[in-house]
Amino acid sequence: MSRIGFIGLGIMGSPMAANLARAGHFVVGHDHKQPAMDRLVAAGGPGGRGRAAPSIADAVADAEIIVTMLPDSPQVEEVFADIRTARLRSAGSPAGLYIDFSTIKPETARSVAAAGAEIGLRVLDAPVSGGEAGAIAGTLSIMVGGEEADFDAARPVFEAVGKTFALVGPNGAGQVVKAANQIVVGGTYALVAEAIVLMERSGVDARAGLDMLAGGLAGSRILELKRETMLAREFKPGFRIDLHHKDMGIAISAARDAGVALPMAGLVAQLIAAARAQGYGSLDHSALLKVIESLNGTGAFNGQI
């Protein structure tokens, strides 16, 4: 069992920290927001396996493993700077492993890993998929970039928060795989939305149609899990358009760094940007359907002008 300093107790971080405490680790958490820290203390129970720290320095000072679950690259850079300062101040600090679960740019993951190595921190980028439900259930998928020995050392942490996890390459590789994941998820939502609009505006039973699609080669987890809510126009998040917009920015930037053209991803990024511009940023990413609908005007068209 390890002493873990956990920074970023939001939608994902909060249940992940609670699962680590439940697995027997001592978790000292810090977040900008007090209610987030209160949740960790409550989840830690009277035995106190979950504690709140007033600052990042306090959370990481005594930690053997440092964990972050933050919104985006700038926050990871900002928090890492504080971790670095805290670690340089306490020369005997035992912390050796730093796992960043946030979804950020591969380039930032690589630079944080290099900066970590300079102060004796072994860094893993470990973005997740599975959403809030997966974080609560401890069944996240985790794509990890870094050294094999560090991946092995981090196994107890991954086992407490995830179901499937794999080392996919050196630092930054986890973030590249997550970017690929977000391209496929965004593209699938856009195409399912187009399929719904085509069927509904053609006067076809879209529910029966999607059932057929789900059972054939076009089937996907998105069709399986989301077709009913999309047909009902229920867009409660889930995963917010705002976060997917951030992730498409990461994917496009990673493509630039790799020198490759991803035309479909570019189109999906623009549709997600449109969803945000139309005020749907806090809705679930399946709300891409609203953008496809708005491209097609309102009301039943049914082939008549």
Cα four-point dihedral sign 276, 179, 138, 231: positive
Shortest Å distance, C-beta 259 to ligand NAD: 25
Give which of 185, 191, 179 is closest to 249, Cα–Cα: 179
Shortest Å distance, C-beta 14 to ligand NAD: 8
Residue 21 burial (10 A CB sphere; 0-12, 13-18, 19+): buried
Nearest-10 Cα torsion for 143, 148, 149, 155:
30
Shortest Å distance, C-beta 78 to ligand NAD: 5
Chain positions contacting ligand NAD, by CB under 6 A: 7-13, 30-33, 36, 69-71, 75, 78-79, 102-103, 128-129, 131-132, 239, 243
- The nearer residue to ligand NAD, 200 or 284, going by C-beta atoms, is 284
- The nearer residue to ligand NAD, 49 or 285, going by C-beta atoms, is 285
- The nearer residue to ligand NAD, 163 or 201, going by C-beta atoms, is 163
Shortest Å distance, C-beta 8 to ligand NAD: 4
- The nearer residue to ligand NAD, 170 or 237, going by C-beta atoms, is 237
- The nearer residue to ligand NAD, 70 or 210, going by C-beta atoms, is 70
Q: Which residues pair with 98 in a beta bridge?
A: 66, 123
Cα 217 from Cα 227, distance rounded (Å): 16
Shortest Å distance, C-beta 68 to ligand NAD: 8
